[in-house]
């Protein structure tokens, strides 16, 4: 007669033929509205500093760094961030002019478990609320799920950052909860809101992106005809 023991306790579902995923390749990711290009300090630092320096002060409120006093400080931050082993930092380039208009990155990259996070998001005024702004996030998801086969794609932000939380939900992330007293940043407490998209959810999320990014979804003024969340 079978006797219940510790080996009868519930465990996670088995994943067959799992292999460690690849690290993001440092190459351009091409879109219709923008290009994601691995940061080249010599090429991107000065124009990025200029467009981000023009952002209002509140755009830096929830970032753990900045605003930068000078191009020297900005270059120092870029150099330090690029050197992190689990971070790949991209300049978001306008597809027509190839001018840098924002920053994004993969961070806390964990190929062993297939987990990757998006972060270091900082958009210039010319990028905010444009198709390129949304496409940049779509391109990063495509690369993570379709090209590299990651299982989990994360978004984390200060729980007080309402615009970031709305953006995560608009982009298809699922809210998972709050990590209380997660950090001390700029001498203030940060509770962190966690969001994710799983590989099983990605096909449906991807379909919505494809429909939204279609040129037929925008009028002659470039205004959307239907919302991403619809």
Asked if residue 89 belongs to a domain, the reply is yes
Residue 12 lies in a domain: no
User: Which pLDDT value is given to residue 57?
Assistant: 80
Q: Has residue 228 been placed in a domain?
A: no
Name which of 207, 215, 199, 99 is nearest 150 in CA terms.
Answer: 199
Write the secondary structure of 173-202 as one string of H (helix), E (strand) and C (coil).
CEEEEEEEEEEEECCEEEEEEEEEEECCCH
Residue 38 is assigned to a structural domain of this protein:
yes
Instruction: Per-residue pLDDT tens, the chain, 230 aa: give them.
Output: 555 555 677 888 899 999 999 999 889 999 999 999 999 999 999 999 999 988 888 889 999 998 999 999 999 999 999 999 999 999 999 999 999 999 999 999 999 999 999 999 999 999 999 999 999 999 999 999 999 999 999 999 999 999 999 999 999 999 999 999 999 998 999 999 999 999 999 999 999 999 999 999 998 888 899 999 77
Against a cut of 0.85, is the pTM above it? Answer: yes
Residue 11 belongs to a domain: no
Please give the residue range of the domain that contains residue 41: 20-217
pLDDT score for 122:
96
- Are residues 113 and 18 in contact, defined by beta-carbon separation less than 8 angstroms? no
> Which residue reads 């007293």 in tokens?
181
Domain count, the chain: 1
226 within a domain of the structure (yes/no): no
Query: Does residue 101 sit within a domain?
Result: yes
The CATH number of whichever domain residue 124 belongs to comes to 3.40.630.30
Flag whether 14 is in a domain: no
Predicted local distance difference test score (pLDDT) of residue 2: 53
Q: What pLDDT sits at residue 6?
A: 59
């Amino acid at each position: 007669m079978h006797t219940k023991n510790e080996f009868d306790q519930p465990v996670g579902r088995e994943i067959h033929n799992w292999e460690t995923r690849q690290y993001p390749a440092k190459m351009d990711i091409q879109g219709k509205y923008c290009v994601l290009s691995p940061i080249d300090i010599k090429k991107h630092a000065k124009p990025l500093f200029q467009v981000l320096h023009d952002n209002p002060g509140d755009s830096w409120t929830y970032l753990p760094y900045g605003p930068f006093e000078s191009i020297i400080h900005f270059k120092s931050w870029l150099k330090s961030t690029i050197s992190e082993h689990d971070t790949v930092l991209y300049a978001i380039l306008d597809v027509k002019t190839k001018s840098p208009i924002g920053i994004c990155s993969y961070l806390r990259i964990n190929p062993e478990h297939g987990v990757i996070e998006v972060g270091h998001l900082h958009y210039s005024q010319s990028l905010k609320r444009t198709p390129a702004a949304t496409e940049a996030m779509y391109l990063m998801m495509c690369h993570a799920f379709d090209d590299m086969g990651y299982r989990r794609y994360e978004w984390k932000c200060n729980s007080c950052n309402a615009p970031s939380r709305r953006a995560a939900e608009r982009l298809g992330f699922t809210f998972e909860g709050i990590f209380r007293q997660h950090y001390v940043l700029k001498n203030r407490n940060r509770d962190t809101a966690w969001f994710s998209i799983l590989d099983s959810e990605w096909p449906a999320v991807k379909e919505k992106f494809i429909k939204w990014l279609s040129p037929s979804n925008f009028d002659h003024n470039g205004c959307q005809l239907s919302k991403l969340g619809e």
